[in-house]
Amino acid sequence: MQTVTYLTLDKDVRQVRQPDFSAFAAQISGGVLDATDPAYDEARKVWNGSVDRRPALIAKCLTEGDVQAAVRFAAAHRMLISVRGGGHHIAGNAVAEGGLMLDMSGMSAIHVDTEKRIARVGAGALLKDFDREAQAHGLATPLGINSTTGVAGLTLGGGFGWLTRRHGMTVDNLLSATVVTADGAVRVASATSEPDLFWALRGGGGNFGVVTSFEFRLHPVGPELYAGLVVYPATQGQQVLRAWRDFTTQAPDELSVWVVLRKAPPLPFLPESVHGTNVVVLPLVHCGSVEDGERAAAPVLRFGEPVGTALGPTPYAGFQTAFDPLLTPGARNYWKSNNFNTLSNEALDLVLAAAERVPGPECEIFMAQLGGAMARVKQDATAFAGRDANYIMNVHGRWRDAGDDERVRAWAREVFEAAARHATGSGYVNFLTEDEAERVAASYGANHERLQAVKQRFDPDNLFRMNLNIAPAASPHR
């Protein structure tokens, strides 16, 4: 009799008998894949090409009932379980080696209520799906900056992007979430229903259950904004970065200006002589009127002598895809990230020096400007606790050849460690890699103990552990 071999929560190897597997597969609308299925290898792929894991089973969930059946099956067999929304998380937690992977990509429906300015979004939706539907009505909620990112993973870890300074984090705009908890029950979490669970879902990651849909507040945005890029040569880096830092401390909430340090890609507005050289790229977005945006962003053009600019009226949904060509799936990726209250001259200089040593043409260091509306939310209002981060730096190692793994990772770690003494000590969980479990508690700060208590209530056996894990309060991490 054919069996399916799997890995338990205790890391034991067990088997599911064919009749049990067949009974389970019959409950999943989209079907269940195993390693013999022709669609298996494609279904297990995620954005980070460094991740090559083989789940025992992949459940293609299309309904809430499918998710309930999958969670109950995993719990009954003590099977390691993972959840794939967009599959974009750097650590690759969407795929459980030898476990059960829930593929949520089929649950991507989006409904926009223009009168109430609310969107209901399925857990399999990508940012581009959400932006497209909302922008058809001139509406948006704060999301990330790569359109192939999954809405679910982004939201559960906090979520920030071009609208965050004006409208807060993604979690600050979450009104409710429908979630299947470890007991297989469906719960609606909001400010008035399961408020502790709702608090934990807003930044606590996938620790508390499988969210099947989200309800978000929408804001009038665009559809056309003042946005684009200003590019300076790295030789002007010190002058430009100090001017940028000083400018951002006074910038209006509507304006976000970030920094990307890398080798110049062959952008059409850059002279060919600049391609492949070290540059300082300043992407910016103003979420008010185009006229106000042009006035507010004008000083960015005077930080030095640009080698190229591409600024003007831009569709918001279009700019949300602007960085997609630099972040295509399949490359090998490794990140190290720091949060900062302030950026001293010394911190900026060490980042510039590190950027001069980028180990490959796809590697970069970016610094996101935060603050504004997200900083005015109390630290304990949501599980996300990084409200004091006015800047987030992500050292982005990206490469193609597995032979370069250690070289690129070593560069990223070196930059992170050098910058750490200037940083807050906390981190953004959506940027933490698979080898940073020790940073989880620090990233939640004073909120961590409450998160452990919520975990104990809703997932006492730590069924949901393929994440930046928060152990239940009453037991050690298993």
Token pair listed for 456: 């104990």
What was the pLDDT predicted at 297?
97
Compute how many other C-beta atoms are within 10 angstroms of the C-beta atom of residue 401: 10
The full length of the chain comes to 478
What is the distance between the alpha carbons of residues 310 and 304, in angstroms, rounded to a whole number? 16
Contact 376, 167 (CB under 8 A): no
Strands 186-190 and 174-180: antiparallel
What is the distance between the alpha carbons of residues 468 and 478, in angstroms, rounded to a whole number? 13
What was the pLDDT predicted at 46?
96
Token pair listed for 266: 């062959």
Bond preceding residue 315 cis, omega within 30 of 0:
no
Angle between helices 345-356 and 405-420 (to 10 degrees): 170
Compute how many other C-beta atoms are within 10 angstroms of the C-beta atom of residue 156: 33
Q: Tokens 């969670």 belong to which residue?
A: 71
Three-state SS string across 392-450, please?
Answer: EEEEEEEECCHHHHHHHHHHHHHHHHHHHCCCCCCCCHHHCCCCCHHHHHHHHHHHHHH
Q: Tokens 């003042």 belong to which residue?
A: 226
Contact 205, 429 (CB under 8 A): yes
What was the pLDDT predicted at 475?
56
What is the distance between the alpha carbons of residues 305 and 243, in angstroms, rounded to a whole number? 12
Mind listing the pLDDT tens digit for each residue in 416-463?
999 999 999 989 999 999 888 889 999 999 999 999 999 999 999 999
Mind listing the pLDDT tens digit for each residue in 250-263?
999 999 999 999 99
- Domains assigned to the chain: 3-103 (3.30.43.10), 110-221 (3.30.465.10), 224-431 (3.40.462.20)
What is the distance between the alpha carbons of residues 457 and 449, in angstroms, rounded to a whole number? 13
Compute how many other C-beta atoms are within 10 angstroms of the C-beta atom of residue 446: 9
Of residues 112, 114, 126, the one with CA closest to residue 84: 126
What is the distance between the alpha carbons of residues 408 and 157, in angstroms, rounded to a whole number? 26
Q: Tokens 């649950």 belong to which residue?
A: 107
What was the pLDDT predicted at 3?
82
How far from each other are the two terminal CA atoms of the chain, in whole angstroms? 32
Three-state SS string across the chain, please?
Answer: CCEEEEEECCCCEEEEEHHHHHHHHCCCCCCEECCCCCCHHHHCCCCCCCCCCCCCEEEECCCHHHHHHHHHHHHHCCECEEEECCCCCCCCCCCCCCCEEEECCCCCCEEEECCCCEEEEECCCEHHHHHHHHHCCCEECCCCCCCCCEHHHHHHHCCCCCCHHHHCCCHHHEEEEEEECCCCCEEEEECCCCHHHHHHHCCCHHHCCEEEEEEEECEECCCEEEEEEEEEEHHHHHHHHHHHHHHHCCCCCCEEECEEEEECCCCCCCCHHHCCCEEEEEEEEECCCHHHHHHHHHHHHHCCCCCEEEEEEEEHHHHCCCCHHHCCCCCEEEEEEEEECCCCHHHHHHHHHHHHCCCCCCCEEEEEECCHHHHHCCCCCCCCCCCCCCEEEEEEEEECCHHHHHHHHHHHHHHHHHHHCCCCCCCCHHHCCCCCHHHHHHHHHHHHHHHHHHHHHHCCCCCCCCCCCCCCCCCCCC
Q: Tokens 């200006």 belong to which residue?
A: 257
What was the pLDDT predicted at 434?
87
Show the CA angle centred on residue 203, arms to residues 197 and 209, nearest 5°.
45
Of residues 142, 340, 158, 374, the one with CA closest to residue 241: 340
Beta-carbon contacts of 360 under 8 Å, excluding residues fewer than 6 positions away, are 397, 398, 399, 404, 408
Token pair listed for 164: 């965050």
**Consecutive 10-residue runs of the chain (478 residues): their mean pLDDT?**
82 91 94 94 96 97 98 96 94 95 97 98 97 97 96 97 97 98 98 97 97 98 96 98 97 97 95 96 97 97 97 96 92 96 96 96 96 96 95 97 97 96 93 90 94 97 95 69
What was the pLDDT predicted at 478?
45
Contact 439, 335 (CB under 8 A): no
Strands 186-190 and 224-233: unpaired
